[in-house]
Amino acid sequence: MNNNEILLLKLGEVVLKGLNRKAFEDKLMNNVRRRLRRCGSFQVYIRQSTIYVEPNSAECDMEEAYAACRQVFGIAAVARAVPCEKTVEAIVDTARHYLADAFAAARSFKVESKRADKTFRLNSIQLSQEVGGLLAEAFPAVAVDVHDPDLTVYVEIREKYAYVHAPSVPGAGGLPVGMGGTAVSLLSGGLDSPVSSWMMARRGVQLEMAHFVSPPYTSQQALDKVLELARLLTAYCGRMIVHVIPFTEIQEEIRKNCPEEYFTLIMRRFMMRLAEAVAKKANAGALVTGESLGQVASQTMLALGTTEDVTSLPVLRPLIGMDKVEIIRMAREIGTYDTSILPYEDCCTVFTPRHPCTRPRVEDVRAAEAALDVDALVAKALAGETWVRVKP
């Protein structure tokens, strides 16, 4: 990266927030600052719907900062830029040096200008024409093509400086984490729940995770796998707490006392109860699951109604209309796929019924569950809860 290089972070739907916009911008800047701490000392401020990230010293790791900013929810696009004086000569000289490699690889180019400072003597079209003409002279082997160029040179005239940069790259989009309240996500070791967690964090939701372990049926490697999935998500969500809840006794009691076709449904009902208890301690307003309609027997419409029957909190299911191909594609994009497919099974695969009920009636499931001391089992599981703070 160029020694004078800075980052320009373009806001997404935050700009539509009207009277609440300032609160969203403040949260977003705090999230950016927190994410950049491990990259060095930066000045972060906002002007005209753009967040400026300027290194305070040469020791700053700009490559890592660039990657980190692309993962902050609320940022629509990220551009590497170099500031210069607000003169045509300075802009052309900066573009010649900063974008020399890009010009060497291009056969055609154009200049696109924005003039946020309306006192600047040229309007956007005039500035693009002047800068483009001088750059065409400097790079005679690169043709001007305003319709379909290989390279677009962006020039922005702002309050203090002009900025020159190549095309922006997409950011993570969405809303700043923390502006959508807090929810507890039921995190397993599979493909679905990390993706659903990511999707809710992208809507500004701060997450705490609930994970259920069933030793000796599940291994330490299975727990390590889930903690690694949580760590991968912190690149987007920030640090989080994973609540680890013992589930062995509950599953064994279900197996001993309940009809086999209801095993999974009753297990899911216990998970909802336990996750709700965690949510109340965390002042969370919802639960998040990775359920997708019809994907497995416990995710039919009637089965979903049966499992959420035991909680008064909203159950958010961002994957509900997605198929497995779409979920796998998203898992690859956010970086959780390779960990999710590691062959360590979690408690969802313990005591799986041979013929699960796909059209359950809530009354029948409640009756089957009546053979258990539900309150005592929930209380004992919560008494054995531990938690792990996961950081990027």
Q: What is the mean pLDDT of the chain?
A: 94
Does one domain contain both 217 and 135?
no
What's the pLDDT tens digit per position in 218-227?
A: 999 999 999 9
Residue 379's pLDDT is what?
A: 98
Instruction: Please give the pLDDT value at position 3.
Output: 57
pTM for this prediction: 0.90
Find the domain containing 100 and state its range: 6-170
| Residue 32 domain-assigned (yes or no) | yes
pLDDT of residue 2: 52
Range of weakest confidence among 9-18, 63-72, 126-135, 237-246: 9-18
Does residue 157 contact residue 113 with C-beta atoms inside 8 Å? yes
Q: What is the pLDDT of residue 4?
A: 86
- 309 lies in the same domain as 242: yes
* CATH number of the domain residue 219 falls in: 3.40.50.620
**Residues 205 and 335 grouped into a single domain:** yes
For range 109-122, the mean pLDDT: 94
Query: Within this chain, do residues 214 and 241 fall inside the same structural domain, yes or no?
Result: yes
Average pLDDT over residues 15-31: 93
Domain identity same for 73 and 194:
no
Amino acid 344: pLDDT: 83
379 phi, psi to nearest 5 deg = -60, -40
171-212 pLDDT, tens per residue?
999 999 999 999 999 999 999 999 999 999 999 999 999 999
Question: For position 342, what pLDDT does the model report?
Answer: 93
Asked whether residue 306 is domain-assigned, the answer is: yes
pLDDT in tens, 345-382: 777 776 788 888 889 999 999 999 999 999 999 999 99
386 has a pLDDT exceeding 50: yes
Tokens of 371: 């053979």
CATH number at residue 39: 3.30.2130.30
